[in-house]
Each structure stands twice: as structure tokens, then as C-alpha cells.
Structure 1
Amino acid sequence: MVNHNPIGLFDSGIGGTSIWSAIHELLPHENTVYLADSKNAPYGQKSKDEILALSIKNTEFLLEQNAKIIVVACNTATTNAIKELRAQYDVPFIGIEPAIKPAATHSKTQNIGILATKGTLSSELFNKAVEIYQDTHIVEQVGFGLVQLIEEGKIDSPEMTRLLHEYLEPMIAANIDYLVLGCSHYPYLIPQIQKILPKHIKIIDSGEAVARQTQKVLEEKVGLNPSGGEHAFYTNADPKVLSDILHNQYEVVRRDF
């Protein structure tokens, strides 16, 4: 089954490009459309109703671009809106959730840390996932301020370093051996995080798992693109931030939406 239409992805900003990169690496011939709703970032401090309204707006934009599948490349939007999106639209949706399962399954200390947004950690979907692993102590930490700094291009700033020390040191003290990154922005902080964590603590994000699931749904239900690879990037804020995270390899178009 062949389908040349693009994969659509949206996030509250530039963080979902970590998911885009994983999908592009696995499926290099697929066309993609990426939407960065940076004007409304971060989603993590918003109400469920606000997150749902923004997710519907983003979905409508991607459907206008003929997206054949939509990747909700945002943990907060997935945990708060994907159920309603799937009920409202016929297009398949791929969500991104914190990778608690591999961390809890492989942990030897039975202590794992999760760094995520308030919207993700307080969501019904996340709490249902946590309930499964009663034997594992999960140290939850809201990453207040991290998304804003990433959106401002301040990944290596002293303020970022200070916040990461504040959030990670209690996890180290709690004897975690896995750190789950529960926001698609956070993989861009891995070099910073690795400087703080002891070497035995493994870091897990969801990029590869989301890419594999996207491939599976395309193969089984939607259709793959055997040749191609055109990519469109849209933002409703300063295009330079998104362009910089993409190493200026792609044109970024500013749109008000």
C-alpha cells in the first residue's frame, strides 16, 4: 500500500523535533509536516480544556496539509487530549507517553525518576500507567522552566544548569538507576543531564518507540511512501529558534494560527 501524503506532527514548540528526527531516521522517504505551536508553549501549565482546544487547532492545520497520520509529538497533549482526538477524527494518531515500562522493568534498584511537565504528571493517562508498577518507587519531578528556556534557545545557560541540578539531585539521592524524560523537549538536555547524573543511571526517552509505532501503523493501515522525503516546518513564533534546532537545514515558515 502506497501513500504519498505526509506524516503530520505537532508539539507545543520545538521539542517535538526530537520525535521528528527519530521518525525521519527510520522512515527517510516519508514526507513530513511539522507544526510548532511555540506561541502557546508550554502546554504543561495549561488546563486540560486549553490543551484539548490547542490540540484540535493543531490537528485541523495538519489535516489541511493532507496529513495521512498525526503524531502528537508532545507528552502533555498526548496524555490530556489524544483520547478525544481519536474519537473526533478518522485519521490515525500516534501518541508519546513517558517510557515508564522499560525503566520499571529493567530497574535493579526499583527506583526510577521521571522528569516531565505538570500537565503530564497530573494526567489520568499517566497515573493509570504508574498504577501498574506498584513495586517500583517513582520519583516524579515537574520540570518547571525547562521548556521556556529551550524555546528561548538557552539550553546551555547557567539558569538551565541550576534548574537541572535542583531537579536531578534529589533523584540521585533516592538511588534511581533510570531517568525517564517525559517531555519531547527534554532530549535536547541530555548532554547537560549526563554531566550531572552518575554514569550508571540510564536515560530513556520515547523517540525510537514512537518512530517504530508510526512505521507499524503506516504499514498496516495507511500506506508508506516508497520514494520522497520533503519536509515542511511551521511555527507561530520566531522561526530562528526552530531553524537553529534543525541546524538551519530546512526552511521554517512562520504562520499565525
Structure 2
Amino acid sequence: MENNGPLGFFDSGVGGTSIWKEVIQLLPYENSIYLADSRNAPYGEKPVKEIIALCKKNTDRLLEMGCKIIVVACNTATTNAIDYLRSNYHVPFIGIEPAIKPAALSSKTKFIGILATKGTLSSALFSKTSELYKENITIVEVVGQGLVDLIEQGAHESPEMELHLRTLLKPMLIAQIDYLVLGCSHYPYLLPVLRKIFPPGVTIIDSGEAVARQTRKVLAENNLLHEAGAIGKHTLFSNSDPAILSHLVNAKQNGYTVSYLEF
């Protein structure tokens, strides 16, 4: 595998760019290709078979483009399909799952919240991880019904979003959680609204930095790190309207290429 090949990313839409931003910030010399499968968003409501089929489609396209590693920048895809992908392809895969461990170990109130999709919360991988910490901690799980759709429409800071979140998150506010774990890569785009809803003592955790560090580690272990040189080039594709994707990554100002692609 060429170590100057791009890093590949895919998600059920624009949300995985929250992960992608952390990775390219940590690895400035790497090139990248990002696929926003917005036409099929959200993955969180779909059956496992369909999630795996979508992940396979995205992976095949990224490999056609010469990607040397694939970051599954979607919690639902990771928790439902990462084992299949690792068993059936020969490139390294980086997955993301909710950061329950740091929240559970740091919580003082012993109440933590997990905001995630139905597909993540009902997955075997999530269940296995959360079981490790349920003995000493109460986990308040909330399905982020409708959140991905609003973010995909560019309405992540709208009054409608705030109203919807206040209703969804009531159980967490009543429980007085002190840690909120974001279990979907779309959700970091909700941080400004979430900080309005929760008191200042609530720590909000997402997986972006941890995924970036893991990506660097796996690249190094496989001798795939790009040698220092020119700053990386980044190409992002959407199979829906690319305007929201372009806006979220500030494409014009940053010199990123964002276009429509059929996949």
C-alpha cells in the first residue's frame, strides 16, 4: 500500500466531518477523501443488513479511489458493521463508538447521559461496552430521534432544534447527569445548543480526538504515515446537495474541494 494514498472517510452524511476535522488537524500532511452518504441518512433507523450493505458500498468506492486506510466516521456503522468490514477487506479500519469509559470513570454524580441513534444504542457492541460500567454508574440513554435529519438540513442551531433537544434531554436533566457522551458523529455540531441547555458543570464528550490519535497510531504501525512535506489536499463528496457539506467544513476559505458524486 502506498503511504501517499489518501485517508478515506465515510458517514451517513455530513456529521462525520466532526471526526474528519480532528484527524486532518492531527495529521496535516495526509491527503483525504470524505464520502457523505446523505441520501441514505440516517443509518440509525435502518436494519443491520442494510447498514452493512451501505458500509460495503462506501468502502468499495473509497478503495477504488486508492485510500490506504478507512475511518468509519459513523457510530451506527461502527457498532453494526466494523467486524464485517475488518473480516472482508485488507486495509486497516478505524471505528468510533461512544466514549462511555472516560465518562463513567470521571463522573461524580454517578449519572451519565448517552445521546445516540437507535442503531448504536441497540447494537451488540454498545451493549457489551456499557455493561462494563453499569454496576457503579447509572447510564441515561436517549435516542436522538430526528436530530440527524435536522443537521443534514443545516438546521443544527435553529430554534426548532433547541426546542426538540430540550424535550428529548429532559430525562438527563432530571437525573442531574454530570457527563454527556455524544454517540453520533453528527452531534458535535449541536455543542452550542447543548451548552445552552445543560448547566456549566456538565462535561460533554465526543470521540473526535481519540479517533484522530488512533488513526495516527494505526498508520504508524502499518508504515503508512505520509512523510512531512506539502500540506494535505482534501476532497469531499456528497450524493445529495453538497452545499451543506461545503458550509460545515468552510470549504472556500480552507481550499477544500466539495462536489456531488453518485455512489
Does the aligned pair in 1 maintain the 2:104–2:110 contact within 8 Å? yes
Three-state SS of the structure 1 residue aligned to 2:195 is helix
How many residues were matched structurally?
Answer: 257
Aligned to 1:39: 39
Give the equivalent residue in structure 2 for 1:51. 51
Match of 2:126 in 1: 126
Partner of residue 183, structure 2? 182
SS in 1 for 2:251: coil
- Contact 1:181–1:205 (Cα < 8 Å) also in 2: yes
SS in 1 for 2:262: coil
Task: Write the letter of the residue equivalent to 2:52.
Answer: L
Deviation, 1:170, is 1.6
Write out per-residue CA displacement over residues 84-119 of structure 1, whole angstroms, 9 at most, x where no aligned residue: 000000000000000000000100111100000000
TM-score between the two structures when normalised by the length of structure 2:
0.96
Q: Does 1:170 align with 2:171?
A: yes
- Correspondence for 1:23: 23
Q: Is the 8 A contact 1:79 1:124 kept in 2?
A: yes
Letter in 2 for 1:24: I
Tell me whether 1:254 sits opposite 2:226 in the alignment. no
Structure 2 equivalent of residue 138 of structure 1: 139
Q: C-alpha separation between the residues in 1 aligned to 2:91 and 2:199?
A: 43
Is 1:233 aligned with 2:236?
A: yes
The answer to whether the 8 A contact 2:157-2:192 is kept is no
Query: Equivalent residue for 2:115?
Result: 115
Match in the other structure for 1:221: 222
Distance 2:192 2:155 in 1: 14
Alignment check: 8 A CA contact 1:9 1:35 kept: yes
Maintained 8 Å contact 1:2/1:224: no
Cα gap change, 1:164 to 1:89, in 2 (>3 Å): same
Alpha-carbon separation, structure 1, partners of 2:10 and 2:199: 33
Amino acid at match of 1:181: L
Q: Secondary structure at the match of 1:44?
A: helix
Shift of 1:2: 7.5
What's the TM-score once normalised by structure 1's chain length?
Answer: 0.98
Q: Residue in 2 aligned with 1:91?
A: 91
Contact 1:22–1:208, Cα closer than 8 Å, also in 2: yes
Root-mean-square deviation over aligned CA pairs: 1.1
Counterpart in the other structure of 2:4: 4
Which shows bigger deviation, 154-163 or 173-182?
154-163
1:12–1:74 Cα contact (<8 Å) kept: yes
Q: 1:102 maps to which residue?
A: 102
- Amino acid aligned to 1:235: S
Q: How far 1:222 moved relative to its partner?
A: 3.9
Q: Distance in 2 between matches of 1:146 and 1:14?
A: 12
**Cα deviation code 1:142-162 (max 9, x no counterpart):** 000100000001112222011
Letter in 1 for 2:54: L
For structure 2, the 5+ residue unaligned runs are: none
Work out the CA distance in 2 between the residues paired with 1:113 and 1:222: 38
Query: Is 1:75 matched up with 2:78?
Result: no
Q: Which amino acid aligns with 1:78?
A: T
After TM superposition, the runs of 4+ consecutive aligned structure 1 residues lying more than 6 A away are none
**CA-to-aligned-CA distance 1:147-190 (integer Å, 9 cap, x gap):** 00000011122220111101222201102100000000000000
Fraction of identical pairs, as percent: 61
| Helix, strand or coil at the partner of 1:233 | strand
Cα contact 2:36–2:239 (8 A) shared by 1: yes
Partner SS state of residue 42, structure 2:
coil
1: distance between equivalents of 2:260 and 2:143? 30
Report the Cα distance in structure 2 between the residues aligned to 1:143 and 1:222, rounded to whole angstroms. 39
> What letter matches 2:211 in structure 1?
V
Whether the 8 Å CA contact 1:75–1:182 is kept in 2: the answer is: yes
Q: Which has the larger displacement, 77-86 or 242-251?
A: 242-251
- Report deviation, 1:251: 2.2
